[in-house]
């Protein structure tokens, strides 16, 4: 939700003007729908989507080999580790070492949304819901030698309590 929409919603709630809130939500939904339609019309959308399907397969399979079809060894991965209480900055090569088959794969849920596309760059949001962790990855992609590659990943998330 963009800043203007949030401001409108908060103002509506504060003034108890629910008809205006409904209009603000409808306008925001229409705007998001239009933006998604425009992204899907971009000439690079199918190629980016295909690259993301490969990325999702790498997650599902726990396969570094599949991951290296779309990431580079020098891809930059940055995120905050609550466990280590510090920002981690690792390479794509180190990230790929973590691609291992997961015994609870059937309980892991992932989806992605392509947020922005230019002729040579894109940003994708990946939502991850695992049994003991929930997080978001933002992947910056660049077209390199005619192929879309993940050049950086910024992640954040929180541990879930064991059920």
Q: pLDDT by residue (tens digit) across 67-82?
A: 999 999 999 999 998 8
pLDDT computed for residue 40 by the predictor: 73
Distance CA 95, CA 91 (A): 6
Distance (Å, rounded) from C-alpha 38 to C-alpha 115?
11
Task: Determine the pLDDT at residue 138.
Answer: 98
Within the chain, which residues score under 50 in pLDDT?
4-22, 24-25
Give the Å distances, CA to CA, from 95 to 56, 88, 107, 120, 134.
15, 11, 22, 24, 18
Cα atoms found within 13 Å of the Cα of residue 120, Cβ hemisphere only: 2
As a whole number of angstroms, the distance between CA 54 and CA 70 comes to 7
State the pLDDT at residue 53: 98
Dump pLDDT digits (tens) for 10-39: 433 344 444 444 454 455 555 556 656 677
* Residue recorded with tokens 């939500």: 25
CA 107 to CA 152: how far, in whole Å? 26
**What is the predicted pLDDT for the residue at 16?**
45
The pLDDT value recorded for residue 18 is: 44
Question: Tell me, what's the pLDDT at 83?
Answer: 86
């Amino acid at each position: 939700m963009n800043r203007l929409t949030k401001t409108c919603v908060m103002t509506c709630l504060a003034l108890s003007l629910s008809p205006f809130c409904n209009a603000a939500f409808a306008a925001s939904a229409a705007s998001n729908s239009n933006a998604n339609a425009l992204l899907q019309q971009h000439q690079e959308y199918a190629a980016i989507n295909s690259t993301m399907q490969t990325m999702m397969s790498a997650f599902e399979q726990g396969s570094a080999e599949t991951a290296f079809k779309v990431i580079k060894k020098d891809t930059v991965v940055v995120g905050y580790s609550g466990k280590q209480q510090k920002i981690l900055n690792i390479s794509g090569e180190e990230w790929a070492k973590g691609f291992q088959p997961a015994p609870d794969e059937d309980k892991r849920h992932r989806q992605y949304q392509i947020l922005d596309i230019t002729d040579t760059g894109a940003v994708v949001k990946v939502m991850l819901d695992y049994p003991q962790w929930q997080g978001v990855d933002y992947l910056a992609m660049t077209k390199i030698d005619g192929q879309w590659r993940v050049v950086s990943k910024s992640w954040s998330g929180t541990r879930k309590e064991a059920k």
